[in-house]
Structure 1
Amino acid sequence: MHMNSAPHLLTEDRAEYERILDDALRNAHDRPDLAGIGQRLNTEQLRTMALNATALISAAAAAEYDHFVKVREESRTPTAVSAINSVLTPAGDDAEAGPGAGVGVVVTVLAPVLAGTAAVIFLLVGYILKMLDPSPSIADPLLAAGWFFGAVTAIGILAAAIGLLVTALRNSSTQVQAQEPGGELPDEVARAREAWRHALLERGIMPFLRDALADPSADPVSGVPPHHVSRIPKVGYSGPEFSSPSEGGSGPRPTFTSPDFTSPEFGGPEHQPD
Structure 2
Amino acid sequence: MPNDNQGGRSDRRPHRGSDGGRPRPRRDQRPAPRHSGPQRARPAQPQHDAQSGGGAPPIPAEIEARQLAPEVRRELTTLDRSTADFVARHLVAAGELLDEDPEAALAHARAARARSTRIAAVREAVGIAAYQCGDWSQALAELRAARRMGSRSPLLALIADCERGVGRPERAIELARSDDAAQLTGDDADELRIVVAGARSDLGQHEQALAVLSTPQLDPSRSGQTAARLFYAYADTLLTLGRSEEALQWFLHAAAADLEGATDAEERITELS
Structure number with the bigger relative contact order (C-alpha 8 A, sep ≥ 6) is 1
TM range (shorter): under 0.3
TM-score, length-scaled by structure 2 = 0.24
TM-score, length-scaled by structure 1 = 0.23
